[in-house]
Structure formats: structure tokens, C-alpha cells
Amino acid sequence: MTHIAATTPIHSRVLEEGTKGFVSDWSSDQLSFKKVPWGKVMMWIFLVSDTFIFSIFLISYMTARMSTTEPWPNPSEVFALTVWGKKVPLILIALMTFILITSSGTMAMAVNFGYRKDRKTTFILLLITALLGASFVGMQAFEWSKLILEEGVRPWSNPMGAAQFGSVFFMITGFHGTHVTIGVIFLFIVAFKVLRGDLDHERPGFLTGRKGNYEIVEIIGLYWHFVDLVWVFIFAFFYLW
């Protein structure tokens, strides 16, 4: 009886602490899922939902291409550029792909140096990643202007063949380009926060996690790697098929 009486209050106290701990872990600005920050969890949820959207777009593109009775334009001819008097197929797309893959490497290095708390190197790598992303968007704008002004492609018409070509092209590349543009903006914001030393001093928050932690760099890195990966599928399905 003495043993039971002695252990009952302890059990009740542990249960109470466990309940409070559960509520505390799942409250805002806290860590959950075995110390995974909320910002990272929310980013993964967003990326999963975005994966479904891009998958639907690519499936719709393949459906439209296989079901149309009009000839589908040859991407090697449509996206060719004249270099020194000769037409080179897909040279701009290849350069855009190289730039985006390179930016994925600089982003991974930025995350690495961020967790080392190397503020200067992290800032430089984030800035390089943002500039590479901005150059990708600029090249995509050039690609759009060439198709619209020189080739006469519209979302509802296409002088080179199937009318669906313009609609799926502007829809897929435009949606991806919007993602890249948003990513570039956030990269500049995070780079500025790193340079100013905010991640070394600010208190724990939704994105930053523990004090003095560079988890926000990893979170934006997840987004950027996703954008790069999606482009690989767009490149393979739209430009090479």
C-alpha cells in the first residue's frame, strides 16, 4: 500500500507533464515530429501538394499531344536558335537547364555552410543561386517573346501545327517560371538576413527554429531543389519528346 501511495502521485505528475509536453510540442513556433521544425514540415506539405499540380499539368500535356489530330510541332525546330548563321536546336533550353542544375549545387553548398554558421560564404552562395535563378527567368522571358513575336504562337492558336501546343507550353513553363521567380525573391530575402546577421541573433520562430540556427536556409533549399527537379521533368517531357 505504501509503495502504491508513493508511486501514484509520481505517475500523475508524469502524465500531466506528458500532456503539457504534447500540447507544447504542437503549439505554434515549436518543434514537433521528433524535433523537426514546423517550417520544414510545412514546406514538405506544400511541395507534396505542388507535386500533384505539376503531375496533372504534365499528364494533361501528354494527353493533349497524343489525342490531337493536328501535327505536333517539333521542339528541336521550334526552340532552335541561329548561331553564327546556323540553327542550333535546343541550345537555349540546354543552357537554361545547365544554369538551373548549377544553382541547385550552389544551394546545397549554401545549406552546408549555413549549418557551419559561415555567414559570409552562405551569403555569397545564396546570392549566386539567386542570380542564376534570375538569369533562368530572363532566358525564359526571351524564349516567350521569341515564340509570341516571331513565331506567332498564342495560348489559343499555333501557326506551326496543333493549337494545343501554345496552351500547354505557356501553362506549364509559366507556372514553373512563377515558382522560380518566387524562389529568387525569397533567396534574396534570406541572403540579406544572413548578411545582416539576423539568423545569429533572432529568437526562435516559425521559420528559424532554434536560436542562432540556419534552418531557414535549408527550408528555402528544399523549395529550390524541388523547382530544379520539376524542370528536369519538363525538359524531358516537353522539349525532348
Tens-binned pLDDT, residue by residue, of the chain (241 aa): 444 444 444 444 444 455 666 555 555 445 555 567 778 889 999 999 999 999 999 999 999 999 988 999 998 888 988 888 888 899 999 999 999 999 999 999 999 999 898 999 999 999 999 999 999 999 999 999 999 998 889 988 888 889 899 999 999 999 999 999 999 999 999 999 999 988 876 554 444 444 457 889 999 999 999 999 999 999 999 898 8
Collect all residues with Cβ–Cβ distance below 8 Å to 103 and sequence separation of at least 6. Answer: 128, 129, 132, 133, 136, 224, 228
* DSSP for 24-64, written as a single string: HHHSTT-EETTTEEHHHHHHHHHHHHHHHHHHHHHHHHHHH
Q: Which amino acid is at 170?
A: F
Report yes or no: 38 and 204 within 8 Å, Cβ to Cβ.
Answer: no
User: Beta-carbon neighbour count of residue 177 at 10 Å?
Assistant: 19
Alpha helices in the chain (DSSP H): 2-26, 38-67, 75-78, 91-115, 119-145, 164-196, 198-201, 215-234
pLDDT at position 25 is 53
- Cβ atoms < 10 Å from Cβ of 120: 10
pLDDT for 6 = 45
- pLDDT value at residue 10: 41
Query: Which residue bears the cell 507550353?
Result: 169
For residue 86, give the 3-state DSSP assignment. Answer: strand
* Element housing 87 (H / E): strand 86-88
| Residue 112: closest CA among 133, 130, 126, 100 | 126
Q: Is there a contact between 217 and 122 (Cβ–Cβ < 8 Å)?
A: yes
- Tell the residue number behind the cell numbers 534552418, with chain if given: 215
CATH number of the domain at 38-239, please?
1.20.120.80
Calculated CA dihedral for residues 65, 70, 75, 77, nearest 10 degrees? 170
- Assigned C-alpha cell, 117: 554558421
